[in-house]
Amino acid sequence: MVKVLTYLAAAAITALQERAVARRTQAVETLRLDRRQRRLDVTTVLETSHKSSLTGITATTSASVLFGSAAPCIAEPEVTEGPYYVRGEYIRTDMREQQPGVTMYVDVQVIDINSCDPVKDMYIDLWHTNATGVYSGVVASTNGNSADKTNLQNTFLRGVTPTDEDGVAQMTSIFPGHYAGRTTHVHFIGNYGGTVLSNKTYSGGSVAHVGQFFFDQDLISSVEAVEPYSTNKQSTTLNSRDNIFKEASGNSYDPIFQYSLVGDTVEDGVFVWISVAVDMTAERDVTAVSTLAGSSAIATTGDTNTALSVTKLGGFAASLAVLAPMIFAIL
């Protein structure tokens, strides 16, 4: 009887210890998660310097060095794709196309918000303006010289690239310029489940996330002091005055790139990186101003683009591209 009681007592103590270990383990995991999901507000984001203390950063620097072993697992708020999204851009890792400006090496790490694991094979769509604040692929009164109809054919500073096993996608571009009413920014769309076409463009699938990324204000000022950025006469908008920046900084997310200069000055180039957590179960609706088809864009909405698409595509296909939206509107 004594042996039985001793055994039962030992078993009870063991169970108690196991529960204590489980509680401590859960407490540690909760603290770790809280650290990873650190709470920020817009003011904190604006006042934080995102210049990295890391040295020797290059395009081959590993994801573990840039993002660490536990990237923040907090979702970036959904924001607008804006009026200048072109669907089906080229899959590539360099989207400069001889555009002048400060070379910018971009790393974006995508994390699944539901598992906090890296997302592999997400095709991320990046686009932004050139050094003087003009988007390619769009002819509009609010986008540079609207008399330059050839811009509809351009594809510079737009590209799609897949994430690797670390959830990281890389792109070489130039630092964006600004345009009236907006601070300097980069657009981001996360695509999955689509098809890579023979012309190296991406088609179909679903959109898990629509976001925008930003830069420290002092970095923007340094870049805009050099040519050709300094020739941009459009009015500037600070991060603190940009409404979409404020939206993107909601939910305690920090939408500003970490960065490191390639050399001694911004003219030598800048390396930027950011981590973003997305909901892979989501399907977002986005509106494209046009769709790339071969080496041309089929305009679908907005300003003078629709009229131009007939001359660009020619024949029945062009007419159908223009008439289809009108037909569906009537129906």
For 171-202, write each residue's pLDDT tens digit: 999 999 999 999 999 999 999 999 999 999 99
- Tens digit of pLDDT for each residue in 289-304? 988 865 555 544 444 3
Q: What is the mean pLDDT of the chain?
A: 81
Three-state DSSP class for residue 95: coil
Tokens of 295: 């080496």
Buried b (16+ CB within 10 A) or exposed e, 66-95: bbeeebbbbbbbbbebbbbbbbbbbbbeeb
Question: Residue 228: CB partners within 8 Å, gap ≥ 6?
Answer: 100, 101, 131, 132
Structural domains of the chain, ranges and CATH numbers in brackets: 39-299 (2.60.130.10)
Question: Residue 16: CB partners within 8 Å, gap ≥ 6?
Answer: none
State the Cα–Cα distance between residues 66 and 52, nearest whole angstrom: 9
Question: Residue 273: CB partners within 8 Å, gap ≥ 6?
Answer: 66, 67, 106, 107, 108, 109, 257, 258, 259
State the Cα–Cα distance between residues 12 and 1, nearest whole angstrom: 17
- Tens digit of pLDDT for each residue in 83-138? 999 999 999 999 999 999 999 999 999 999 999 999 999 999 999 999 999 999 99
The reported pLDDT for the residue numbered 318 is: 33
